[in-house]
Amino acid sequence: MRSMVARSVVLAVAFLLFALLPAVGQEPESKSTPLVKELTQLLDAKKLEAIAAKDPSAPDLFVAALYYPGSQLMVVSARYLVPPMLVEKIAKKEFLEVYTDLSSAAIEGSRTLVMDIVADGLKPKKDDGRFDTCDSGAKNWVFDGDWKKQKLASEDDYLKAYAAADAAYAKALTALIAQAKKL
């Protein structure tokens, strides 16, 4: 009888610890995943492989995406030296040209490029051997789960870098979704 009560207490304590304590190294929830789904559905419906938009947070900041249906989404965000030129290209729906301009002629240090390998939102770890990347300024992040290879002090630092990249990606996706809805 006594051992049965002891087992019950141990099980109850274990259950409470499991339920109440956050998991160590738990993956953060992706902010970009539902936004990627929405954007790719819009692009599929409008039969677009590229989209571009002005980012409302700064007068010289733009975002553009190149989409390979069912395969990959590449999103670039950058400041541009001659904003009226890109505004005109966006008005003419020359989205691929805007993507190219932001990828190659952005103001130095301002470019962020996210390569979402399966077009399913930024993931912090490998999925079936595939991993997402984010190049932002001088930082190049490979989200394969190996924080030591990237010379980070801890897994927490890695997850913070992932969360920052995911937030930036979500911000860019939001501007692109707004643009796609206008078309």
pTM of the predicted model, to two decimals?
Answer: 0.84
C-alpha gyration radius of the chain: 21
Q: Which residue has the tokens 């998991």?
A: 23
Task: Assess whether pLDDT exceeds 60 at residue 46.
Answer: yes
pLDDT of residue 156: 95
Task: Assess whether pLDDT exceeds 60 at residue 56.
Answer: yes
Task: Assess whether pLDDT exceeds 50 at residue 163.
Answer: yes
Q: What are phi and psi of 171, to 5 degrees?
A: -60, -45
pLDDT of residue 17: 35
pLDDT of residue 29: 85
pLDDT of residue 24: 42
Neighbours of 60 (CB within 10 A): 16
Single-letter code of the amino acid located at 39? L
Condensed to tens digits (0 to 9), the pLDDT of residues 73-119 reads 999 999 999 999 999 999 999 999 999 999 999 999 999 999 999 99
Task: Assess whether pLDDT exceeds 90 at residue 57.
Answer: yes
In percent, the amount of the chain with pLDDT more than 70 equals 85
**Helix crossing, 95-104 with 83-91: angle to 10°?**
150
Task: Assess whether pLDDT exceeds 90 at residue 20.
Answer: no
The answer to whether residues 49 and 67 touch, using CB atoms and an 8 Å cutoff, is yes
* Residue ranges per structural domain of the chain: 29-182
Structure tokens at 171: 């911000």
Q: What average pLDDT does the segment 136-160 reach?
A: 93
Output b/e per residue, 83-100; b: 16+ Cβ within 10 A. Answer: eeebeebbeeebbbbbbb
